[in-house]
Amino acid sequence: MDAFAVSFLNLVASMTTTVFVFAVMGHLAIKNNEKCYLTNAKTVMDLIAANLLPPEAQPPDSLHHDPSSIYSKWLNNLPGQVKERILPHLTDCDLSEQLSEVMVGPGVAIVAISNIISVFSGSTFWAIITFVLLVTLGLSTVIGIIQGIITPLQNTFSSLREHSGLLTVGVCVPMFLSSLLFVRPSGSYYVNLLDDYWTSLPLFFVVILETVAMAWIYGARRFLADLSIMLGRPISPVYRWLWCFLSPFVLLVLFLSALIHLFVKKITYLAWDSKSSDEVTRTYPSWAKVLLIALIILTILPVPAYFFYTFTEVTSASITHRRATVILKPEAKEGLPKAHLRLQVKQSLKKVNKMDK
C-alpha cells in the first residue's frame, strides 16, 4: 500500500509539474513573440519617420492590444511593393522558435517557477519559499546519491563499516571538488554537455542490464510468482511477456538511437554572441566528445569489471572445491601386500547421508 501511495503521488506530482511548466513556458514564448511583433512595428514606424517607407505602411494603433492576431493581418494586407520593402527590415517572429529558446537548459522548471512567482503579490515571500524548496530538493538528491555509493561499498567491503564517517568524507570531498568545475564562467556549458548527451546512454545501459537480469537470468516467471506472493493475489501473465520482450526491445531502440545521435550528429550548444547580441548555436570542440566518451565508459565500466571479478572468484572457488574433494590414500606398511596410490572422490551428499544412517 505504501509503495502504491508513493508511486501515485509521484505520478500526480510529475503530471502537475509538467502541465505547470509547459503552460508557463508557452506563456513566456507567446509574450516574447508579441514583443517581437511590437519591435517590428516600432522599426516600421521609425522607417516611416525617416521617409524610408511610405505612410501606407503605418501599423494600426490596435496592434498594441492584440499583437498576435493583428500583426499577421496588417502585414498580409499591405500592398505587394510596400511589403517587399518592409520585410528586409523585420525580424522573423516564429512562435516555435521562441518556444525552443525558452525550453533550452536543465533548469526549465526553475525558470518557470521564478517567472510565475514574480507576478504574485508578496513575491519576496514566495521567493524565500522557492529557495527553501530548491535547498530541500538538493539535499534529498545528494543524500540519495551518497547513500547509493556508500551502502554498496560497505556491503562489498565489510571493513568499511567500521569507518562510516571517514568513508562519507572520502566520497563527499572529491565530489565537492569536482563540482567546482560547474561554478566557473564556462560551467553552464559543461552542465549542458552532461545533461544533453551524457546521462541518457549510461542510464539506458544500466536499465537494459537490470531488465535482462530480472527477466532472463532470475526469470520473469519466478519474479511474477514472487510478486503474487507479496501482493496476495494473482498477477496477469501479460507482464511476463512485457518484461521479456517489449521492455528490452524498446530500451535497446532508445539506447541505439542515443548512441547514433552521439556519433553521427555534431554536439552543439547555445552561446551568447556579443557582436550580434543574440544566442547562436555552436559546436563543441573535438576534445569535448572525447571527454564525453571517456565519462560514458567510466560510468558503465564497473558493471563488466564486477562481472569478471565475480566470475573469477566463482571459478577459483569451484576449482578449490574440486581439489578439496580428492583424497590420497597412503601405501601399505612393510610385510603387507603393496597397495597402489588411489584417488577416491567423495560421494554425493545423498549417499553420505545414507551411510551415516
**Which residues participate in the annotated binding site for Na(+)?**
137
Are 36 and 93 within 8 A, CB to CB?
A: yes
DSSP lists the bridge partners of residue 280 as 271
**Nearest 5°: phi and psi at 157?**
-115, 100
Residue 232, classed as helix, strand or coil, is coil
In whole angstroms, give the CA distance from residue 43 to residue 119: 29
Element holding 228 (H helix, E strand): helix 220-231
Sequence-distant (≥ 6) Cβ neighbours of residue 192 within 8 angstroms: 105, 106, 269, 270
Q: Residue 216 corresponds to which cell in the numbers above?
A: 532472463
Q: Residue 305 corresponds to which cell in the numbers above?
A: 569489471
In whole angstroms, give the CA distance from residue 174 to residue 179: 9
Closest-CA residue to 113 (of 96, 132, 140)? 132
In whole angstroms, give the CA distance from residue 251 to residue 240: 16
DSSP code at position 53: S
In whole angstroms, give the CA distance from residue 255 to residue 293: 15
Closest-CA residue to 42 (of 9, 90, 3)? 90
**Nearest 5°: phi and psi at 274?**
-70, -25
In whole angstroms, give the CA distance from residue 321 to residue 327: 12
Cα dihedral sign, 50-53-55-60: negative
